[in-house]
Amino acid sequence: MVIKLNDSNFEEEVLKTDKTVLVDLFATWCGPCEIMSPLIDELAEENLPNVKVGKLDIDESGEIAIKYGVMSIPTFLVFKNGQVVRSFVGVTDIDEIKQAVLNA
């Protein structure tokens, strides 16, 4: 299940969890984001052990995007223990993202 992230739940769902978290930073008007969205949804449905998958609309929660230096979308951030351990920008091989999450 994909978690809808925003300013009010980001700290609890991403920074304070003991799980690895994949965050998809996107915008509804972004073509490459639309390409990646169903792949991220499929990854979330795999219910990987100790992994959360969330999506954050940068138009609704722009401060988070600024905090993490997001300059292009889609951007995918892998968090472990509240820290970014890996990032991807643009249309990316979903298997590469999955391996990064599993190996975090």
Class of domain 2-102: alpha beta
Catalytic residue among 21, 25, 30, 44: 30
Q: How far apart are CA 67 and CA 90, in angstroms?
A: 19
Residues 6+ apart with CB under 8 A from 95: none
pTM, two decimals, is 0.96
Active site residue 33: yes
- Say what the pLDDT of residue 62 is: 92
Q: Which of 22, 25, 33, 101 is catalytic?
A: 33
What is the pLDDT confidence band of residue 49, given thresholds at 50, 70 and 90? very high
> According to the model, what pLDDT value does residue 22 have?
98
Is-catalytic flag, 30? yes
